[in-house]
Structure formats: structure tokens, C-alpha cells
Amino acid sequence: MGSLSSRLYDALIYKDRWHYITDGLGMTIVITLGALVIGLILGSVAAIIKVAYKNTKKNLLLSVLNFIVGIYLTVIRGTPTVVQLMIMYFVIWKSGTSLEVAIAAFGINSGAYLAEVMRSGIQSVDRGQTEAGRSLGLNFWQTMRKIILPQAFKNVAPAIFNEFITLLKETSVSGYVGIQELTKAGDIIRSLTYDAMPPLLLVALIYLVIVIGLTRILAVIERRMAESDLR
């Protein structure tokens, strides 16, 4: 075993192996952002259906949708993320690329958790806002889209940001379906150098720096939101 400098040289500089890390980081960011967008859409739709089923006149379509949402939330929350990813890749979406499958799988997983976040955000909006929308002639869906959802997103912005941080770390299992994201990149370097410490510690450090940075940003967002609420 050589010195630390020689081990770092072998892990990163020799044959430009640092490209594995930068390419893997880029893939991690792409998967995370894509999945977050899908998660926000699915979570918002699921939350609206749950709220509508509870607060509006029930009909067959709404009952069916509420049942489907209930199954979706139960299944996704009750099974491991990596199992969902592998089922999506090997069973459900065999024709999709690894990247497409990963974004979809993580997005569906994130949506199940963001659904509860969005539902709490919607319920945190004063009922007077809904009554105001109705008084303007808006139906439930128009009131939700134009009045309630914008305020709900503001109320749960910190929770959504936390989900983004969680999602970023969860993408580390994407290597199970052949994606060279950040963690897989470190493992590839390990297999080339037969030295686990430099690449895997570097990967851990990169995750840590990103999470600390995002946490600082979240703290700023929360402080500014608190200041705006006091005005």
C-alpha cells in the first residue's frame, strides 16, 4: 500500500479517472432533478384527490381515483426503494433506458411521500381562502389551482426541499440497474485500483458537501419565509 498521495493519484489522476466522478455526479443530479419534478406532479395530484374525496361530494370517478391513490401510497411506502427500482427495470419497463427507468422509479417513489407533504400544505391554507374562491364563482378544481395550491407550495417549501435532499442520497442505488451515478463511479475506481478508501471516501465527502450546502440554502429559505410572514 503506497502513500496517500500515490493512492489519490491512482484513484483520480491516473488515466483521468476523475472523469468517473464528474460524470457520475452529473448523472446523480439529472436523476434527482427529473425524479423531483415527477414526484411533485404525482404528489400534488394524489394530495388533491385525497382532499377532494374528503371535502367534496363523492362520485364514482372520485371514489375510484381515491382507491387507486390509496393503493399507490400503501405499496410505494411499504416497499424498499431499491426493490421498486429493480422491478421497474427488470419487470415493468424493459424497453426503457436505465436513466429513464431510474428517473421514473425515483419519481414515483418520491411522489408517494410528497403526497402527504402536499396534503398537509393544502390543509394548512385557511378555509376562508376556499370560500373566497367559491364566492368568485370558481369550482373546487379552479379554486385549488388558482388559490390554494400556490399558498400550499409556499407553506411546504422547506419539506419539499428536504425531500430533494433525501432523493439525492437515495439515487446512490441506481447502480443496481447499470447507471454510473456518483456511488457507482467510486465503486468502478475501486475495482480498477483495488483500493477502496480514496474513491469511496471522496464519494462520501461529495455527498456530504452537497447536503451541507443544500441544508444551508434551506435555512436561508426558511428564514426569509419567516420574515415575510411577519410583514
pLDDT tens digits for 91-141?
A: 988 877 899 999 999 999 999 999 999 998 888 888 777 777 778 777 777
The pTM (predicted TM-score) of the whole model is: 0.88
Label each residue of 56-82 as H, E or C.
CCCCHHHHHHHHHHHHHHHHHHCCCHH
Per-residue pLDDT at 229: 61
Enumerate domains of the chain plus CATH numbers.
4-230 (1.10.3720.10)
Q: What is the pLDDT of residues 41-55, one digit of tens each?
A: 999 999 999 988 887
| pLDDT tens track for 146-202 | 888 888 888 888 888 889 999 999 999 999 998 999 999 999 999 999 999 999 999
Helices (H), ranges, 56-194: 60-77, 81-87, 98-124, 127-135, 140-143, 149-155, 157-170, 182-193
Grid look-up 363523492 returns 58
In terms of pLDDT, which residue wins out, 141 or 76?
76
Closest CA to 173 of 106, 87, 79, 77: 106
